[in-house]
Amino acid sequence: MGKVMFGLSVSLDGFIADKNDDVSLLFAWFASAWERFYEVAGDPLNECGAVIMGRRSFDMIDSENGWVFPDGTAPDWPVIVLQSQARASVKKGKTQFHFVTDGIQSAMTKAKELAGEKNVALHGASSVQQALKAGLLDEFHLNIAPVLLGEGVRLFDHLGSEPIQLERTRTLETPGATHLSFRVVK
């Protein structure tokens, strides 16, 4: 069985997007480190079997063609969307969207079933926060951009009052970012 994980670019002060949902400053490192992409990120297109995201993230990527990355790549991962209102599953482009209304545990069960032996990836702050708080996350990778945004979408809010212990498994430097990997101690 694969791992439950996420990889996100983040500002030094902990934001994954600015107050206008702009991520360009957080991904500026990407252009100067493209030749090291697989060293930084692994092979997410082939290692991922399903993605869990919140409604806000879904609204940002939803299109008639499904989930299409800025470079035109369209992954064929099934996507489980956490939301409060029931909705039937829908296929758009290469993306099969499933909508779950009964929480992160239910979404995780569905994602693991769909992912098989591959990893379940989390996308967006809400799904990350819910999985961390519920003890469902195995590992994560942060690409830390050398910028302080001051406000925006904070990654590590709403985690509860109990400490979550981490083990650092890797540190990597590339032009424009520091990449840190952690395993969640369970």
| CB contact at 8 A, 18 and 151 | yes
| CB contact at 8 A, 10 and 16 | yes
Task: Tell me the average pLDDT across 9-18.
Answer: 96
Beta bridge partners of 75: none
CATH assignment at residue 45: 3.40.430.10
How do residues 16-68 score in pLDDT, each as one tens digit? 999 999 999 999 988 877 777 767 777 777 899 999 999 999 998 888 888 88
Tell me the pLDDT band of 158, cut-offs 50, 70 and 90.
confident
Please say if the pLDDT value at position 118 is more than 80: yes
For the chain, the domain total comes to 1
Cβ neighbours of residue 3 closer than 8 Å, sequence gap 6 or more: 119, 120, 138, 139
pTM of the model: 0.92
pLDDT, position 31 = 80
Domain that residue 33 falls in: 4-184
Q: Which two tokens stand for residue 9?
A: 């670019």
Nearest partner of 99 among 77, 117, 82, 115, judged by Cα: 82
pLDDT, position 70 = 76
Q: Could you tell me how many residues make up the chain? A: 186
